């Protein structure tokens, strides 16, 4: 599959899209649950409420945010790939994190939820026809293609995995 062009997504998603160098987006989406599970293997539960700076999310809150975004991006991809072009609102990530109760959950539970959400999205992506990748809709007041959403979804996980390594696990 070809990579999304710059006109297929809003500028603020460039960091996510550029984080994915691969063109086989389905393989990237399939590999990421294992990568996240490996990244969190052996981290004691008490470390889950660690935050690298005042006002920053804890490790578990960051993982909860990854899950929230997976659901939101997956919903957008589902709607647009099925021809529903009804504009979709943005989501306030801080409200989601504040009300997500991630610090009360185990790493195993959070990773399992991510895997379930991602697996559903993989099934959706694998069902798409070649022409479906070019379909588009409006989310967060910006036009976006189905292809770009798949790259954004994978890039979002990769972005936060890097933050975990650089700021939390360093």
> pLDDT tens, 104-159?
999 999 999 999 999 999 999 999 999 999 999 999 999 999 999 999 999 999 99
> How far does the chain reach from its first CA to its final CA, in angstroms?
35
SS3 133: helix
Domains in the chain (CATH in brackets) are 6-168 (1.20.120.450)
SS3 99: coil
Confidence (pTM): 0.96
């Amino acid at each position: 599959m070809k990579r999304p062009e710059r006109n297929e997504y809003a500028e603020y998603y460039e960091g996510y899209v550029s984080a994915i160098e691969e063109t086989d987006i389905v393989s990237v989406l399939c590999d990421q649950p294992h990568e996240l599970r490996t990244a969190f293997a052996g981290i004691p539960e008490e470390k889950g409420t660690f935050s690298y700076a005042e006002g920053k999310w804890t490790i578990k809150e960051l993982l909860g945010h990854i899950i929230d975004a997976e659901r939101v991006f997956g919903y957008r991809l589902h709607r647009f790939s099925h021809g529903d072009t009804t504009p979709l609102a943005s989501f306030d990530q801080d409200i989601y994190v504040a009300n997500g109760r991630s610090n009360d959950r185990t790493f195993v539970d959070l990773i399992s939820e991510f895997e379930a959400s991602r697996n559903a999205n993989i099934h959706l992506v694998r069902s798409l026809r070649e022409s479906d990748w070019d379909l588009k809709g409006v989310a967060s007041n910006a036009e976006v293609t189905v292809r770009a959403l798949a790259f954004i979804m994978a890039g979002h996980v990769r972005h936060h995995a890097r933050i975990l390594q650089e700021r939390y696990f360093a």
